[in-house]
Amino acid sequence: MKITGASVNVCSPGRNFVTLKIETDEGIYGLGDGTLNGRELAVASYITEHVIPCLIGRDPFQTEDIWQYLYRGAYWRRGPVTMAAIAAVDVALWDIKGKALNTPIYNLLGGRSRGGVLVYAHAHGADIEEALDDVGKHIEMGYQAIRVQSGVPGLASTYGVPKAGMRYEPAEKGLPSEGQWSTEMYLRHTPKLFEETRRRFGENVHLLHDCHHRLTPIEAARLGKELEPYHLFWMEDPVAAELQEGFRVIREHTTTPLATGEVFNTIWDGQELIQRQWIDYIRMSIVHAGGFTHLKKVADFASLYHVRTGCHGATDLSPVTMAAALHFGIAVHNFGIQEHMAHCEETDAVFPHGYSFKAGYMYPGDAPGLGVELDEKLAAKYPYERAYLPVNRKLDGTLTDW
């Protein structure tokens, strides 16, 4: 089988997505996700201008050699744009492989290791009461694990909470909006959020929380300690992880499990965190970490150190990545949990798929390959519009992590 052509689709059904389609001389094609929230056209151009010419004529079954060629051959390696582009190629090739072998991708990753993929949903609210009502709604929908985020008294807005009556979609058209942040107000408020959540819903639901890179290690240590009575499933991105050793400080003070890695692109971004067991879950996703070929290696390395997977699964990862994550999650042995932010109707219509949700678990479906399609005609009705993630400033105006 030979690769005969490839094209990049950029569309915006509810939000921007970058999708690679690779075609072969046997009429089988594969899809890959290259979406990088706020920098979509950088990846689209990287794939179109620098990757596709090198793919034509290659054997799509050579996923390892093509991965190494695109990673080492670029010379300038790692980084979010490069690794999202490599991921798009890798996933499209695995999709082709599964279709050619007439089997779902999970069978190429070791087969089913479990009946279903445990997922967690996002619950949020402008205040504690509203957030708890949303937790209740998701419990009624069948979720057994729920991330809880709420507005912080005194702050006009905060991470993870949509504007009143809006769907949560952090990327906004036009130039980046500017958020306001106070660590002190957040640290005073968050333990109360979980005290109330446990009081109302008891212990039988997994609770998760995302600090979104905003604390210092000792602030995260304080929060982790104060959240211990509420037995969180994880406290995510407590600090910006460029300094991996920052997690040692947190680890020394609290037993609240730690998760990080959604912004990581290769194993080297988190190697020390895993090896030192400074984290419990690695959040790297198939689209941002170079596809199945690299993420399988990350999971295998993590399995040596009791670290489990907890792949990122926000709406800015397309249904192509959601499908890939479910094939990955049902197969890898050291699976932990999978994030599931449900896409909007427009997105699901443009990306028809076979995955499904039931009673807190998701299932990849049994179609050969990924089990996702791209309706190019419908996608054309949703043209790309530049959008940015917000930026964040402390109350004194200092720029900080969003």
Q: 47 or 314: whose CB is closer to ligand CS2? A: 314
Q: 11 or 215: whose CB is closer to Mg ion? A: 215
Tell me which of Mg ion, ligand CS2, none is bound by residue 30, counting a contact when its beta carbon lies within the kind-specific cut-off of 5 to 8 angstroms: none
Residue 159 a catalytic site member: yes
Selected binder of Mg ion within 90, 196, 210, 269 (CB under 5 A): 210
Per-residue binding letters, 54-93, with ligand CS2 (x by CB under 6 A):
----------------------------------------
**Options 3-11, 97-105, 312-320, 357-365: segment touching ligand CS2 (CB under 6 A):** 312-320
Residue 288 a catalytic site member: no
Which strands sit side by side in the sheet containing 17-24, from one edge to the other?
3-11, 17-24, 29-33
Tell me which of Mg ion, ligand CS2, none is bound by residue 369, counting a contact when its beta carbon lies within the kind-specific cut-off of 5 to 8 angstroms: none
Q: How far apart are CA 39 and CA 37, in angstroms?
A: 6
Q: Indicate which residue of 122, 212, 288, 312 is catalytic.
A: 212
Chain residues 199-218 in contact with ligand CS2, contact rule CB under 6 A: 210, 212
Q: Indicate which residue of 29, 46, 120, 159 is catalytic.
A: 159
Q: 38 or 365: whose CB is closer to ligand CS2? A: 38
Of residues 71, 80, 13, the one with CA closest to residue 40: 80
Query: What is the Cα gyration radius of the chain?
Result: 20
Given a contact cutoff of 8 angstroms between Cβ atoms, the answer to whether 28 and 49 are in contact is: no
Selected binder of ligand CS2 within 35, 37, 63, 150 (CB under 6 A): 37
Is residue 316 a contact point for ligand CS2 (CB under 6 A)? Answer: yes
In the complex, the smallest distance separating the C-beta of residue 6 from Mg ion, rounded to whole angstroms, is: 31
Size of the site for ligand CS2 (CB under 6 A): 10
Is residue 339 a contact point for Mg ion (CB under 5 A)? Answer: no
Selected binder of ligand CS2 within 109, 221, 314, 331 (CB under 6 A): 314
Q: 146 or 314: whose CB is closer to ligand CS2? A: 314
Tell me which of ligand CS2, Mg ion, none is bound by residue 196, counting a contact when its beta carbon lies within the kind-specific cut-off of 5 to 8 angstroms: none
Given a contact cutoff of 8 angstroms between Cβ atoms, the answer to whether 249 and 221 are in contact is: yes
Tell me which of Mg ion, ligand CS2, none is bound by residue 37, counting a contact when its beta carbon lies within the kind-specific cut-off of 5 to 8 angstroms: ligand CS2
**Options 78-86, 241-249, 310-318, 392-400: segment touching ligand CS2 (CB under 6 A):** 310-318
- Provide φ and ψ at 299, rounded to 5°: -65, -40
Instruction: Please give the structure tokens belonging to residue 282.
Output: 């690695």
Q: 212 or 214: whose CB is closer to ligand CS2? A: 212
Tell me which of ligand CS2, Mg ion, none is bound by residue 95, counting a contact when its beta carbon lies within the kind-specific cut-off of 5 to 8 angstroms: none
Q: 9 or 35: whose CB is closer to ligand CS2? A: 35
Is residue 170 a contact point for ligand CS2 (CB under 6 A)? Answer: yes
Q: 97 or 209: whose CB is closer to Mg ion? A: 209
From residue 367, alpha-carbon distances to 89, 116, 239, 323 in Å are 20, 16, 40, 11
Is residue 339 a contact point for ligand CS2 (CB under 6 A)? Answer: yes
Residues that bind Mg ion (CB under 5 A): 210, 262
Residues marked active site are found at: 159, 212
Residues that bind ligand CS2 (CB under 6 A): 37, 170, 210, 212, 262, 312, 314, 316, 339, 389
